[in-house]
Copies of this chain bind each other. A is one copy, B any other.
Amino acid sequence: MSQDRIVIIGGGFGGLNAARALAGEPLQVTLIDRRNFHLFQPLLYQVATGGLSPANIASPLRAILQSYPNVEVLLAEVRHIDVPRRVVVLHEEEVPYDALVVAAGSAHHYFGHPEWEPLAPSLKTVEDATEIRRRVLLAFEAAEREPDATRRTAWLTFVVVGAGPTGVELAGAIAELSRRTLRQNFRHFDPASARILLVEGADRVLPTYYPKLSTKAAQALARLGVTLQLGALVTDIQPESVTVRCGEKLERIEARTVMWAAGVAASPLGKIVAEGTGATLDRQGRLVVEPDLSLPGHPEIFVIGDLAHYSHQTGEPLPGLAPVAMQQGRHVARVLRLRRQGKPVRPFRYYDRGTMATIGRAKAVADIRGIRFSGFLAWATWLFIHLMYIVRFQNRLLVLMQWAWNYTSRNAPARLITGGNPFPLPLSEERKNKADDQQGVS
């Protein structure tokens, strides 16, 4: 098998690390992505709550890869993979490959309720983050204008569905925003009266973490004023409410702002690859890979990151985390090199450096190689590790500056409402009457 042309689909943690590890090799590498930048998704919640700008956590792919002459970037959308002919089909052309690395990642999944997506945006892309930012900030603006107390409460109720790391971090950051940053910003209500609900189907937050860390995280969230609803399933979402089932009890919560941090589904490319190769899809749409991360019977196709189901090491599939994808990307480069040299290939092994999550300002929980800790030390560790991961030096420095400033000033400088015209705001009729009364008096 010739390995001249390597095509990588996806410029996330997996694909980008594969491309960098292949730089300088006697191969022609093409990285295909729909976006022109690599996004540091773990910090997207800080964009959604106005702490950071999108460019602080994104690096142009061409800039990252510009000094590697054997690596080419293609801004394109993959429509199909023709496995027998070994070509990736784009809208505009076909790209032939000798080896293919599929690192297309995952998307949010609404448990068979696609109609919930516009009502409860998830947090995957820069556009998702600025949309959530827009909704959260507009809710406070509407509360400032709304004279009816019940309707104001609905504007000030924020529901985050799913208490994995993203949900916990997002709920914590909204609590910080309302309790601290916005404290003096309004004249007609107290932003600290906002209710932040974190709804989770399991019986604890961060269900994939060590139980003691879940307890610590729950305590930190409670101190910030986040209300936990555990063992609770969302059964309905409407523009002004969420319905939650907790055991036998159905509860309708009046809320204008709902955010989705629950289900994750693999990229639809997984299905296309499965059809072309006969590979097995697991229930979450991930492709079951061989020990070397290739597909059974197709040593020329590798699948890595969130789209891969790899369970040779532990029996359980590896979680969809950035470090897994990064290590898998580098492993594929290693496999290709060893194959070319005719040397034996060892199975992929995930080296677990630990898991962590932040809760608001200067609080975090961490589980690093069995050592579990929480509080400020965990937060400082989290900060350090995240900064090390951020791809380019420039971003690292600017993000650190921005954090230092946010930390000392309790500020969220990027709280811009952007996008379409939000007027007229959907306020009650009472507003207008009140204005008329005032005018009658004056």
- Enumerate chain A interface residues (CB-CB to B < 8 A): 34-37, 53-56, 58-60, 62-63, 66-67, 72, 74-77, 85, 87, 91-96, 126-127, 137, 141, 144-145, 182, 184-187, 392, 394-395, 397-398, 401-402, 405, 409, 411, 413-419, 421-425, 427, 431-432, 434-436, 438-439, 442
A405–B416 CB distance below 8 A: no
Docked pose: A127 CA to B421 CA in angstroms:
11
Q: Which residues of B contact A401 (CB under 8 A)?
A: 397-398, 401
Q: A63-B413, A91-B423, A126-B416 are in contact. List 9 more A-B contacts (CB 8 A).
A: A36-B417, A53-B55, A63-B415, A92-B145, A93-B431, A94-B432, A94-B439, A95-B435, A398-B401
A209 to chain B, nearest CB (A): 32
B432–A93 CB distance below 8 A: yes
B95–A415 CB distance below 8 A: no
A439–B184 CB distance below 8 A: no
Q: Which residues of B contact A75 (CB under 8 A)?
A: 141, 144-145, 417, 422, 425
Q: Which residues of B contact A60 (CB under 8 A)?
A: 185, 413, 415-416
A96–B415 CB distance below 8 A: no
Q: Which residues of B contact A74 (CB under 8 A)?
A: 144-145
B438–A96 CB distance below 8 A: yes
Q: Which residues of B contact A34 (CB under 8 A)?
A: 421, 423
B394–A398 CB distance below 8 A: no
Docked pose: A59 CA to B36 CA in angstroms:
27
B54–A416 CB distance below 8 A: yes
Q: Which residues of B contact A415 (CB under 8 A)?
A: 36, 60, 63
Q: Which residues of B contact A184 (CB under 8 A)?
A: 66-67
A405–B398 CB distance below 8 A: yes
Q: Which residues of B contact A37 (CB under 8 A)?
A: 416-417
B411–A394 CB distance below 8 A: yes
Docked pose: A70 CA to B16 CA in angstroms:
53
A130 to chain B, nearest CB (A): 8
A439–B96 CB distance below 8 A: yes
